[in-house]
Structure 1
Amino acid sequence: MSGRDPYEVLGVARTASQDDIRKAYRKLAKKYHPDLNPDDKKAEEQFKAVNQANDLLSDTEKRARFDRGEIDASGQERAPHGFGGGGFHGGGAGGGFNEENLNDLFGSMFGGFGGTRGRRSGPRQGADSSYALKVSFQDAVNGTTSRVSLPDGSTLDVKIPPGIEDGQVLRLRGKGNPGIQGGPDGDALITVTVLPDPTYTRDGVDLRETLPVDLKTAVLGGPIMVPTPTGTVRMNVPAGSDSGTVLRLRGKGVQAHGKREAGNLYVTLQVKIGKADAALEAFLRDWTPQA
């Protein structure tokens, strides 16, 4: 069975870029993921179809072979044109083929018709395996190594790069199902879900947080302690700051990875008055704000 057309499964055109394919796959893999659709057989089948389609189209060599008609949607070799399920035509007396004709024609391709008559054999890559992994917001920002439990009871360590996004899929080469007849093992596809954080929001490689500051520090200025994903740091609040003032901490956003530099953390101040004492109340009674 050749399976559904991978372009139709992912809902992309045949001219789609690799980036378009990746985005479509992430969206659908998250939509149909078993963790979000427990006991839903249709969603499970769709999730498998989406993974199979992405496995083929995300590999530029496989995609090119599929587009040329050399392999089908499941990645299996197609029979040469004219030798498919419609039967053989032409050649020989009486308009048919005898076994000698067929052996002469296909001997080099199929190794003759003895034993495995008409079947193509040989090494084939094992099927891919799909897994789900949840990581905390801070682990996604800083990078970490997480462990995935496999159905057979074994575990697989997965390296999470700094800056991984929700719904992103990690491919671990050779960590899927065993190969067939000595072929290479399949890959493990890890769909990552990034859990939200009560303190931070993400904007590309930058992070944002809102931090309360007391009235005295806001008016007179002074140091405050700021929580960041890599630890608490000291930051100076300029005198005369107001609610909504945004301060920047360089390099305290998404951590650097490869050639990409670390992002920044932007802190929005929120002035908290708190309980006013008698002296402050007396001051405010006599204070006339400047126009």
Structure 2
Amino acid sequence: MGYNVADPYTTLGVARTATEAEIKKAYRKLAKELHPDKNKDNPKASDRFSAVTNAYDLLNDKDKRARFDRGEIDGDGNPASPFGFGGGGGNPGGFRPGPGGGGFQADGPDLSDIFENMFSSGGRGGFAGGFGRAREKGGNILYKLDVPFVDAVTSKPQRITLGDGKTIDLKLPAGLESGAQMRLTGKGQPGPGGNGDGIVTLTVLPHRFFERAGDDVRLDLPISLSEAVLGASVRVPTPEGAVMLTVPKGSTSGKTLRLRGRGFHRKDGTRGDQLVTLMVDLPVDDDALIEFVTGWKDKDLRNPRGGLGV
């Protein structure tokens, strides 16, 4: 059974005057403490997690927060009773004695339209139909999902655990970038008008040697002096496994080679490339190399920095 939020401010432990930053900070702290992955043996924590998420979803929406503060909706985002019973945040829909003590007069908004819709003979469903049209869905539940870099490049499906403990596999969207969101229809809080949705925010994690450059993947590849001078065929890691790459004869550090179609998937169905930058790796204190360079340096009359004007 879902946990109904009586007062979102109380649920998050913040004052009604709390700023957006204060509300977000309180939510993050509680969500971290109550996340189902950390409380698998405590079903009450899952209920509280859902309640906290529902409260944040309402207060994070400026329009819904204002409507709640005015007493137009309750803590679950559902319309407050037009008769003022059980409403929060003042008495916008209440009644007071009319002039001279006779009858009643409504405070706040004009309720004539509400009653006209509820009791109109032309309305479908009459009284019950009036309330039925005001039914709202339950609140959304927010999730965060960290996606390994290689999985993001290869669009590998990701498994996520929902607030009710169930797991589903998500198909990653093409063109995925950190901060992208996916909507899980009907995976939110229950409500009179149906379930809300699950909103998943995706973060692509960094990799220890791959880097992203738009839709391309960059890699600095160490090669030996002999491979650079004489040329070679070397193994190169890619997000989908190692491949062979031809290093041209006479390659220098900074030379970039391209492996086509090894980058991120684009929305148009194409893929970026992998850009491999060669880095000549010299041995330290190699006597043979030192002896060779000592005898060869006088023969190399080039100025490799001439292009820089020095």
Q: TM-score, normalised by structure 1?
A: 0.64
Which residue in 2 is equivalent to 1:21?
A: none
The superposition leaves residues 202-239 of structure 1 with CA deviations (integer Å, 9 ceiling, x where unpaired) of 12211111110011111122222111112212222122
One of 153, 160, 176 as aligned partner of 1:141: 153
Q: Deviations over 1:141-165 (max 9, x none)?
A: 2212222223433222222224422
Say whether 1:188 aligns with 2:198: yes
Consecutive unaligned residues in structure 1, runs of 5 or more: 11-27
- C-alpha displacement of 1:280: 4.6
What is the match of residue 272 of structure 1? Answer: 281
Partner letter of residue 283 of structure 2? G
2:141 counterpart of 1:129: yes
| Residue 110 (structure 1) shift | 3.5
Q: Is the 8 A contact 2:57 2:139 kept in 1?
A: no
Residue in structure 2 matched with residue 243 of structure 1 by the alignment:
253
Contact 1:140–1:163 (8 Å) recurs in 2? no
Give the structure 2 partner of residue 172 of structure 1.
184
Distance (Å, rounded) in 2 between the aligned partners of 1:50 and 1:290: 70
- Which residue of 109, 112, 122 corresponds with 2:117? 109
Find the partner of 2:93 among 77, 80, 85: 85
Aligned residues of 1:9 and 1:50 also touching (Cα < 8 A): no
**Superposed, which structure 2 residues align to 1:254-265 within 5 Å?**
254-256=264-266, 258-259=267-268, 261-265=270-274
What's the offset of the Cα at 1:270? Answer: 1.1
Q: Which residue of 2 aligns with 1:289?
A: 300
Contact 2:160 / 2:170 at 8 angstroms: preserved in 1?
A: yes
d(CA) in 2 for partners of 1:233 and 1:189? 38
- Closer/same/farther in 2, CA of residues 56 and 158 from structure 1, 3 Å limit: farther
Alpha carbons 1:139, 1:162 under 8 Å: kept: no
- Do the aligned partners of residues 45 and 235 (structure 1) sit closer, same or farther apart at CA in structure 2, a change above 3 Å counting? same
The structure that has the greater radius of gyration is: 2
1:289 maps to amino acid: D
Cα distance between partner residues in 2 of 1:219 and 1:131 = 52
Alignment-mate amino acid for residue 93 of structure 2: G
Alignment CA distance shift 1:50-1:185 (3 Å): closer
Give the whole-Å Cα distance in 2 for the aligned partners of 1:193 and 1:235: 31
CA gap of 1:212–1:253, structure 2 versus 1, over 3 A, is same
Shift of 1:95: 8.4
CA contact (8 A) 1:254 1:262 kept: yes
Aligned in 2, Cα 1:266/1:55: closer, same or farther, shift over 3 Å? farther
Structure 2 unaligned spans of 5+ = 1-6, 10-14, 35-49, 83-90, 121-126, 303-310
Q: Quick one: percent identity of the two aligned structures?
A: 35
In structure 1, C-alpha distance between the alignment counterparts of 2:182 and 2:24, rounded to whole Å: 12
Deviation at 1:136, TM superposition (A): 0.8
Query: Is contact 1:144–1:161 with CA below 8 Å preserved after alignment?
Result: no
Cα displacement (A) at 1:263: 1.2
Give TM-score, length-normalised by structure 2. Answer: 0.61
Task: Give, in angstroms, the shift of residue 49 of structure 1.
Answer: 6.2
Query: How far, CA to CA, are the matches of 1:106 and 1:36 in structure 2?
Result: 38
Taking the aligned partners of 1:151 and 1:36, their CA distance within structure 2 comes to 11
Distance in 2 (alpha carbons) for counterparts of 1:282 and 1:175: 70
Structure 1 distance, partners of 2:53, 2:143, is 11
